[in-house]
Amino acid sequence: MKVSKPGDARFFVRTGPHNVAELAKLIGAALVGSDKPIMGVAPLQTAGSDDISFLDNRRYADALDATKSGAVIIHPDFQTRVPVGTSALVTPEPYVGWAKISALFHPPVSAKASIHPTAVIDATAHIDPSAEVGAGAVIGRAVEIGAGSIIGPLAVIGDGVVIGKLCRVHAQSTISHAILGDKVTIYPGARIGQDGFGFAITKSGFISIPQLGRVIIGDGAEIGANTTIDRGSAQDTVIGLGVRIDNLVQIGHNVNIGSHAVIVAQAGVSGSTTIGDQAMIAAQAGLAGHLTIGRGARVGAQAGVMADVDPGLEVLGAPAQPAKAFFREVVTLRKLVQAARSAAKPGQKKED
């Protein structure tokens, strides 16, 4: 199959051309080489003379030597390796530059002011005239949807939900008991605002406890596909400004996630845990309830966190512990295994 360039016109909006000087100004880069029109973005390996590419990882430096791209976003350390004829946009943060330029060529889809005739909308809902509501969407009583927002096909917006400006609620997601800020993105199949996992245990069984809180989602947050966020029990579940939550993440009731934190796929956060600003929770990590994860802390993949994590600390393993201690134990265990093998009697079968 022929390798195609990014941004298939069947799926993505495209702008341009944009001159290299314009792109350099956009990202605050120094332009080395000639100004020229650029039609799109592409990887170093497939870019042509009318494309712009980037290098941020030295592992791919050899691809820079052979690239045919018209321009490249580059760290100063690699400036001398840019091929003749390729303009260089020199910046200490090439990947940030790539993100900004990619978004210029391929901006988010804008709302088409319309309501599909198959959408079911309560008469008390207030939908800004510039918003878009897709086929089969259900909009409940007293819902508010802000200017330029898009509600995808078959999405369900429960009674009283408030959705800010320029939000994107993708297909088949459901939102209840929630207040969304501006520029929030909810990806397909996400479930937001359902009952938290709260019940009292009696000798004869369980008694469900009413979950009376909400979900508050800050401006610019993104919630991944098939992620679930429970509403609070007696207080709110809070997702801070600019938070990025990957696909298939579970957020329990009363969780409070600080601004610009990141939670990666299949992680689970139990109820009433607080996650500080800019913390990072890696894939498949599990956090017990009522914990505090400090600002800028990093929780490794598959870690089992059962105690508070100090700000800026990196933890690994289950139960989770500081990364240095974790690796010391790994090294010690390997040495013990090697010593046991060396001490095995002649002729005795050594275990793997």
Task: Give the three-state DSSP class for 287.
Answer: strand
Check residue 226 and give left, alpha or beta (phi > 0: left; psi -120 to 50: alpha): left
The three-state secondary structure class of 259 is coil
Lookup: tokens for 205:
């069984």
Cα separation of 352 and 335, whole Å? Answer: 14
- CA 223/CA 181 separation, integer angstroms: 13
Angle, helix 20-27 to helix 94-105, in steps of 10 degrees: 120
3-state secondary structure of 94: helix
Ramachandran region, residue 329 (left: φ > 0; alpha: ψ -120 to 50; beta: rest): alpha
Query: Per residue in 39-65, is it b (16+ CB within 10 Å) or e — as a string?
Result: bbbbbbebbeebbbbbbbeeeeeebbe
Catalytic status, residue 116: no
The answer for residues whose C-beta is within 8 angstroms of residue 156's C-beta and 6 or more apart is 137, 138, 140, 173, 174, 175
Q: First CA to last CA across the chain, in angstroms?
A: 43
Contact in structure between 203 and 183 (CB atoms under 8 Å) = no
Whether 188 and 225 have beta carbons less than 8 Å apart is answered as yes
Give the ranges where 28-133 is alpha helix by DSSP (H).
61-66, 94-105
Separation between Cα atoms, residue 334 and residue 343, nearest integer Å: 14
Of the candidates 177, 253, 260, 290, the residue annotated as catalytic is: 253
Contact predicate 343/325, CB 8 Å: no
**Catalytic positions, written as ranges:** 253
